[in-house]
Chains A and B, each alone.
Chain A
Amino acid sequence: MPEPFRNLTSRCVFVDRDHVDTDQIIPARFLTTTSRDGLGAHAFADWRGRPDCPLDAPGARDARILVGGANFGCGSSREHAVWALLDFGFRAVIAASFGDIFRRNAIENGLLPIQVAPGVVASLRSEPDVEVTVDLEANEVRVPGQDAIGFTVDSFGRHCLLQGVDTLGFLLEREDVIRAFEQARGDGGMA
Chain B
Amino acid sequence: MTMAPRTLFEKVWDRHVVVPECAEHPAVLYVDLHLVHEVTSPQAFAGLAARGLRVRRPDRTLATLDHSTPTEAPDASGQWPGIDPAAGAQIEALRANCRLHGIDLCDVGTGRRGIVHVVGPEQGRTWPGGLIVCGDSHTSTHGAFGALAFGIGTTEVGHVLATQCLLQRRPRTLLVRVEGALGPGVTAKDLALAVCAALGAGGGAGSVLEYQGEAVRGLSMEGRMTLCNMAIEAGARAGMVAPDEVTFDWLRGRPGVPSGAAFDEAVADWSELFTDADARFDSEVVVDAAAIAPTVTWGTASDMTMAVDGSVPEPTSETEVAALAYMGLQPGQYLAARPIDVVFVGSCTNGRIEDLRAAASVLDGRQVAAGVRMLVVPGSDQVRAQAEAEGLARIFAAAGAEWREPGCSMCIAMNEDRVPDGGFAVSTSNRNFRGRQGPGSRTFLASPETAAASAVEGRVADPRPYLQEVTRA
Contact = CB atoms under 8 A, between A and B. Distances in A.
Interface residues of A, number: 53
A172 B153 contact: no
A27 interface: yes
A74 interface: yes
Contacts of A76: 136-137, 412, 431
Contact of B59 (A34, A104, A190): A190
Contacts, number: 177
B90 interface: yes
Interface in B307-339: 317-319, 322
Given A71-B201, A174-B19, A34 B136 contact: no
Nearest to A33: B86
B435 A27 contact: yes
B1 to A, nearest CB: 20
B431 A156 contact: no
Contact of B202 (A19, A104, A156, A182): A19
Interface string B23-42: 11110101000000001101
Contact size class for B?
A: 35 or more
A170 B159 CA distance: 10
Interface stretch (A6-14, A93-101, A128-136, A138-146): A93-101
Given A23-B435, A77-B153, A104-B156, A97 B202 contact: yes
Contact of A156 (B135, B167, B436): B167
Contact of A101 (B84, B151, B435): B151
A75 B433 contact: yes
A181 B30 contact: yes
Interface in B157-181: 158-159, 162-165, 167, 169
B206 interface: yes
Contact of A28 (B151, B205, B300, B412): B412
Given A101-B152, A181-B30, A34 B237 contact: no
B21 to A, nearest CB: 9
Given A32-B68, A79-B154, A23 B23 contact: no
B413 interface: yes
Contacts of A29: 413-414
Given A77-B40, A171-B165, A172-B163, A101 B153 contact: yes
Given A36-B43, A174-B28, A77 B136 contact: yes
Nearest to A181: B18
A172 B162 contact: yes
B152 A77 contact: yes
Interface string A172-191: 10110110011000000111
B57 interface: yes
Contacts of A104: 152-153, 156
Nearest to B236: A100
B90 A155 contact: no
Given A71-B235, A167-B167, A19 B319 contact: yes
A171 B167 contact: yes
Nearest to A101: B151
Given A34-B90, A36-B154, A79-B153, 9 more contacts: A19-B201, A32-B68, A34-B89, A71-B202, A71-B235, A99-B235, A155-B23, A168-B155, A189-B56
Interface of B: 18-19, 23-26, 28, 30, 39-40, 42-43, 46-47, 51, 53, 56-60, 67-68, 84, 86-87, 89-90, 93, 102, 135-137, 151-156, 158-159, 162-165, 167, 169, 201-202, 205-206, 232, 235, 237, 300-301, 317-319, 322, 412-414, 431, 433-436, 439-440
In the A-B complex, the 10 residue pairs with the smallest Cβ-Cβ separation, listed nearest first, are A71-B202, A105-B153, A34-B42, A79-B153, A32-B86, A77-B151, A108-B155, A18-B319, A79-B154, A171-B163
28 contacts: A19-B202, A28-B67, A29-B414, A32-B86, A32-B414, A34-B46, A34-B89, A34-B90, A75-B431, A76-B136, A77-B135, A77-B137, A78-B40, A79-B155, A97-B202, A99-B235, A101-B137, A105-B154, A108-B153, A109-B155, A154-B169, A156-B24, A156-B25, A168-B162, A171-B28, A172-B162, A174-B19, A191-B56
